[in-house]
């Protein structure tokens, strides 16, 4: 998407050097059923069709404070783990909404990639850009959990592209909360004024086989955001699978726990205030409605570290690439030819 600046005292003048790539076709490195492909296309079309909203239109969203809270969580993760000069891979980057967060962290190199059908072998596509110091996948990793093959490919991609000692940060639905709320619900649907979750009749007994942790589908609706199928990611299975790809867990926190912990730090209180997600009081979620705060409970954050020690000779080699601004030639369309 962009190629940015060489490191200098005036780093606030422009974005980090960066590239973004979009894959309209996806890869064919493992088989996917037609419904999965149609779903991926639907989600891609949904976000592509969203018009650029004015500030007034954004502020009028019924979940504006939830969006601001989620932006705060992503900002805190970036501030905690990104270091000056890092090479960053931003998976499911959309239209680059997090670029300003990375810019403020003074990273050295950025690649954002958004794939319509997520089976492509990114280690081959991004061979010239790797290794990365940090990878981010925000509110998207659970879409790979429709099959074991897709889940494994996602983790294999990240592991292959991260340097030893590199960090993988992300956010996704909290499976424990979703299953707990389902079991407490009278039927197969639960929610409030801003969201609802519905499971199909096949889960009428509200039991999930530990032998089949992939492909547990539900429909998720969030006002002014998304309305599509998603998949449960049992975190103990995610952690175990990640370990197979050389990752170790640093932490995993539900969004409520995350807010309570990091709002104890003055710099993050001030960040939340600047983002407009905190009112005049000092309560953790004073501007969120009760329904938005309940919706926030559906999500969690995680941090993984790739095993091994970094090779310092590989760092900093990309800082002198690129120009200040994005242009058409900075966008590469990845096809399955």
**Cα 122 → chain centroid:** 16
Rg (CA), the chain: 20
More confident residue, 280 or 8: 280
Q: What is the mean pLDDT of residues 253-263?
A: 96
pLDDT at 201 over 80: yes
**Mean pLDDT of the 11-24 span:** 45
Tokens of 217: 């589908």
> Is the distance from CB of 246 to CB of 237 less than 8 angstroms?
no
pTM here? 0.83
The pLDDT of residue 305 is: 98
Percent of the residues in the chain that have a pLDDT greater than 70, as a whole number: 70
> Hey, is 80 helix, strand or coil?
helix
What per-residue confidence (pLDDT) applies to 37?
59
Whole-angstrom distance, CA of residue 257 vs CA of residue 214:
26
pLDDT score recorded for residue 302: 98
d(CA 140, CA 118): 11
Contact 81, 304 (CB under 8 A): no
pLDDT, one tens digit per residue, over 297-317 is: 999 999 999 999 877 665 545
- Whether the predicted pLDDT of 157 surpasses 50: yes
Report the alpha-carbon distance of residue 5 to residue 123 in Å, rounded: 25
Averaged pLDDT for residues 2-6: 32
Q: Give yes or no for a contact between 18 and 328, defined as CB atoms under 8 angstroms apart.
A: no
Average pLDDT in the chain: 81
Task: Give yes or no for residue 325 having a pLDDT over 70.
Answer: no
Q: What is residue 120's predicted lDDT score, i.e. its pLDDT?
A: 58
Is it the case that residue 7 has pLDDT exceeding 80? no
Domains of the chain (ranges; CATH) run 11-333 (3.40.50.150)
Q: Is the dihedral of CA 205, 206, 208, 214 positive or negative?
A: positive
Q: What is the pLDDT of residues 119-142, one digit of tens each?
A: 557 778 888 889 999 999 999 999
What pLDDT does 96 receive? 84
Q: What's the chain's length in residues? A: 337
Output b/e per residue, 109-134; b: 16+ Cβ within 10 A. Answer: bbbbbbbbbbbbebeebbeebbbbbb
- Higher per-residue confidence, 61 vs 243: 243
- Predicted confidence at residue 222, as pLDDT, reads 95
Percentage of the chain beyond pLDDT 90 is 58
Q: What's the pLDDT band for 3 if we cut at 50, 70, 90?
A: very low
- pLDDT, tens digit, 9 for 90 and up, residues 34-78: 665 566 566 656 555 555 566 666 677 889 999 999 999 999 999
Average pLDDT estimate for 248-270: 96
How far is it, in rounded angstroms, from Cα 222 to Cα 225? 5
Query: Measuring CA to CA, which residue among 112, 123, 110, 114 is closest to residue 82?
Result: 110
CB distance 97 to 70 below 8 Å: no
324 falls in which pLDDT band (50, 70, 90)? very low
The pLDDT of 210-228, averaged and rounded, is 92
E strand segments, 121-279: 132-138, 162-173, 189-191, 195-199, 217-222, 226-231, 247-254
pLDDT at 97 over 80: yes
Whether residue 154 has pLDDT greater than 70: yes
pLDDT at residue 114, as a whole number: 80
**Distance spanning both ends of the chain, measured CA to CA:** 22
């Amino acid at each position: 998407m962009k190629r940015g600046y060489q490191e200098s005292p005036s780093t606030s003048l422009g974005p980090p050097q960066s590239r973004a790539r979009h894959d309209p076709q996806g890869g064919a490195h493992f088989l996917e059923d037609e419904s999965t492909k149609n779903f991926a296309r639907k989600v891609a079309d949904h976000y592509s069709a969203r018009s650029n909203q004015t500030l007034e239109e954004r502020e009028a969203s019924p979940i504006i404070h939830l969006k601001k809270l989620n932006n705060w969580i992503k900002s805190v993760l970036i501030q905690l783990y990104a270091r000056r000069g890092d090479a960053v891979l931003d998976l499911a980057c959309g239209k680059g909404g997090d670029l300003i967060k990375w810019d403020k962290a003074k990273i050295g190199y950025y690649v954002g990639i958004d794939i319509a059908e997520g089976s492509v072998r990114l280690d081959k596509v991004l061979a010239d850009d790797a290794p990365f110091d940090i990878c981010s996948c925000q509110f998207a990793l659970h879409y790979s959990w429709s099959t074991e093959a897709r889940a494994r490919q996602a983790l294999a991609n990240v592991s292959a592209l991260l340097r030893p000692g590199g960090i993988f940060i992300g956010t996704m639905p909290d499976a424990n909360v979703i299953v707990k709320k389902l079991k407490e619900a009278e039927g197969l649907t639960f929610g409030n004024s801003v969201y609802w979750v519905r499971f199909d009749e096949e889960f009428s007994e509200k039991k999930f086989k530990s032998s089949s942790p992939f492909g547990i589908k539900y429909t998720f609706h969030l006002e002014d955001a998304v309305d599509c199928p998603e998949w449960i990611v049992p975190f103990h299975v995610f952690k175990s699978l990640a370990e197979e790809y050389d990752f170790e867990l640093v932490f995993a926190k539900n969004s409520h726990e995350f807010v309570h912990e990091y709002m104890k730090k003055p710099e993050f209180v001030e960040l939340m205030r600047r983002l407009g997600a905190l009112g005049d009081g000092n309560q953790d979620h004073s501007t969120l409605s009760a329904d938005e705060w309940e919706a926030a409970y559906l999500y969690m954050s995680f941090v993984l570290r790739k095993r091994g020690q970094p090779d310092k000779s590989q760092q900093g080699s990309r800082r002198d690439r690129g120009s200040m601004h994005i242009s058409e030639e900075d966008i590469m369309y990845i096809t399955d030819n």
